[in-house]
Amino acid sequence: MDSQVNVLETIEKIVKHPLYYLVGIASDRLIYQSTEGDIVNLWSSTLDGGDRIKLTKEGLFEVARPRREDRYIVFTRDVTKGHEKHKVFIVDVYGEESIRSIDMDPLRIFGIAVHGETIVYSGSTEKDIGLYIFRGYEKPEKLYGTDRFFFVTDTNGDMTVGYGNLHGNPKSYELFIYMHRRDEMLIYTPKKGSVNERPIIIGDKILFASNYRDSHKGLYIYDPINGKITEPSFRYSDYKELDITDYINYGSTQDGLIWFIGLSNARGYAFVDGKAVRHPPGTPGNIEIHGDTVYMHFSTLKQPQAIYRTSLNGEGWERIIGEALPQDIGSMMGKIKITSYKSFDGLEIPCILFESNIEKPGPTIIFVHGGPWSYVGDYWRAFISALVASGYHVVAPNFRGSTGYGEEFRLLDIGDPGGGDLMDVVYAAKYARKTGLASKLAIIGYSYGGYMTLLATVKEPGIWRCGVAGAGIADWEESYKLSDAIFRQFINVLFAGDFSKLKERSPITYIENLKAPLCIIHPQNDTRTPLKPIIRYCEKLLELGKTFELHVLPSIGHIIDRPDDLVRILFPAITFLNRYM
């Protein structure tokens, strides 16, 4: 019992440590999200981090980036206990008025932007994916509908921009520009088959990221009036010292200077007008410039997200909202190494080695990230930190399909989920042994990482001492039938339209091969990776006499926004690992 108490105490110190994410600046106040308390909520403070006001109490999903002159902040909230049916809400930055909600039918919203009283968002129903507008009166109006997914990223009231898989090519993303006065949807790409993402409106032009000239993304400016595309012009060239392979975030200052956070070798670097913003090694997530002061939220694998400020001249680096981890937790965290290894076909696979302060070789976890279009870098992940602080080395492969290493690398996963990416994970396990890090090996993941865990334990059953699968996919065919429009399209894009592979790449097809004990943890109301196929998977495990345990988390969905719910995932996971490792 004492050991379980210790496990729980360690997990809670990590998971319940408050996180802070900068949203923007409005009415001379910092707008940020925080897990302070029992759920992610919206806060505001003065520019020095004082006079903190909690603006919401019931959680939120997404916040539209505010403008400096805004008095009101627009956000979405799941109103269906994890089923991800959202409504739009409005709150003032001083918390002086009651939160208002838009009169609308709930739907899955993924992308929202605001300009004055105009709110534009993209959302999915069971039937289609639509573009919606709310002009401050009556009900939202649907402007456009399709079966292809797209995301709203910005609006200026006259035009709304975003991006998505709009030409139907699973390996390309196109920009869209909706011209409100003409009621016209324009789809733009600088090159057929290229990947173009996250357009932001600057004046009458559009800033976006694209790989149309190179496998790595660059920043470009499109002028929709004359149809010309150019590269941004910067006064400084600090960024040229790095091999930037992707962009975490970008935008412009009030003076029209472009800022961006570039990604290079699993770390982020901030620049304003091409000049480096000095910060320690790690990764900024968002920045705002007010006068000559830069505000950002920043984290590393050892330090949680907090809000900092510094000078554009690089003087004075100050944490204004947030605290360091407790010393006893930090003392368990050892060396971090950003490295790579060769996979089955000779492809170089980037990965993170995060050592616990235990002996080597020692018990080691292969952590598989979700997405699959995501990555593990030098930024805070409570899941990984909890494993390390609990006495496990962690190897986190950025398998083919991960973001941050160029579009050629990411697109290797399209049409081949559970193929080359699975072998990359298997070779990560081999690499962990080869380097002398691992004595025993387990695999763990959530979402797509949960799917990879289920698949790895049945297709490569001899490698693992045990596995922990959170919110995974057990049967792609059944999951497709249970999905709404956007997740049907997600599966279509991931498999490049080849539905003949759905059964072949499903863990349930190979369930008889399972040897290692398996822990399955799944939210009850998950609509991204539905529970029903997991229940059927467990019934088969029971029939086959396999060793497993199932934890169904009631009344929550795929997105974990309460620290207590993350504890409910990590506590059974680490207790299970301790039993079998």
Produce one character per residue of 347-368: b if its CB has 16 or more CB atoms within 10 Å, e if not: bebbbbbbbbeeeeebbbbbbb
Beta-carbon neighbour count of residue 187 at 10 Å? 13
| Token pair listed for 359 | 């002996």
Report d(CA 399, CA 372) in Å as an integer: 9
Q: Do 21 and 34 meet the contact criterion of CB atoms below 8 Å apart?
A: yes
Q: Which of 273, 378, 421, 526 is catalytic?
A: 526
The answer to whether residue 279 is catalytic is no
Report d(CA 205, CA 223) in Å as an integer: 5
The answer to whether residue 526 is catalytic is yes
* Residues 6 or more apart in contact with residue 365 via CB below 8 angstroms: 387, 392, 393, 394, 395, 441, 442, 443, 444, 577
Q: Which of 413, 421, 558, 565 is catalytic?
A: 558
Report d(CA 10, CA 570) in Å as an integer: 10
Report d(CA 128, CA 105) in Å as an integer: 14
Q: Which of 45, 447, 479, 506 is catalytic?
A: 447
Nearest to 338 by CA among 433, 242, 429, 266: 266
Handedness of CA 505, 82, 560, 404 (dihedral sign): positive
Crossing angle of helices 420-434 and 448-459, rounded to 10°: 70
Nearest to 193 by CA among 168, 176, 218, 216: 168
With residue 7 as reference, give the H or E element that holds it: helix 2-15
The answer to whether residue 447 is catalytic is yes
Give the helix ranges, DSSP H, for 221-370.
Answer: 327-330
Give residue for tokens 């065919």: 477
Give all strands of the β-sheet with 293-299 in edge-to-edge order. 283-290, 293-299, 306-311, 318-321
| Token pair listed for 263 | 């990604």
Catalytic residues: 447, 526, 558
